Amino acid sequence: MLKGKLLAALAAAVALSAPVLAADVDQAVLTNEARQQVKAFGGNLKKTVKKGMQAGGPTEAIHLCNTQAPGIAAEHSKGEWNVGRTSLKLRNPDNQPDEWEASVLADFDKRLAAGEDPKKMEASKLEDGQFHYMKAIPTGGLCLACHGEQLAEPVKARLAELYPEDKATGYQAGQIRGAFTLTKPVEM
Q: Is 118 in the site for ligand HEC (CB under 6 A)?
A: no
Per CB under 6 A, does 97 bind ligand HEC? Answer: no
Residue 76 binds ligand HEC, judged by CB under 6 A = no
Q: Which is nearer to ligand HEC, 7 or 55 (CB)?
A: 55
Q: Does residue 101 come out as left (phi exceeding 0), alpha (psi in the -120 to 50 range) or beta?
A: alpha
Given the complex with ligand HEC, which of 26 and 35 has the nearer CB atom?
35
- What does the chain come to in residues? 188
Select the span of 26-34, 86-94, 107-115, 124-132 touching ligand HEC (CB under 6 A): 86-94
Q: Which of 74, 42, 71, 56 is nearest to 158 (CA)?
A: 56
Residue among 51 and 111 whose Cβ is closer to ligand HEC = 51
Q: Which is nearer to ligand HEC, 27 or 68 (CB)?
A: 68
For residue 115, the Cα-to-chain-centroid distance in whole angstroms is 21
Check binding of 90 to ligand HEC (CB under 6 A): yes
Q: Please give the size of the binding site for ligand HEC, defined by CB under 6 A.
A: 25
CB atoms within 10 A of CB 176: 19
Task: Identify the residue among 123, 177, 182, 184 touching ligand HEC (CB under 6 A).
Answer: 177
Residues that bind ligand HEC (CB under 6 A): 49, 58, 61-62, 65-66, 69-70, 85, 87, 90-92, 95, 137, 139-140, 142-143, 145-147, 168, 177-178
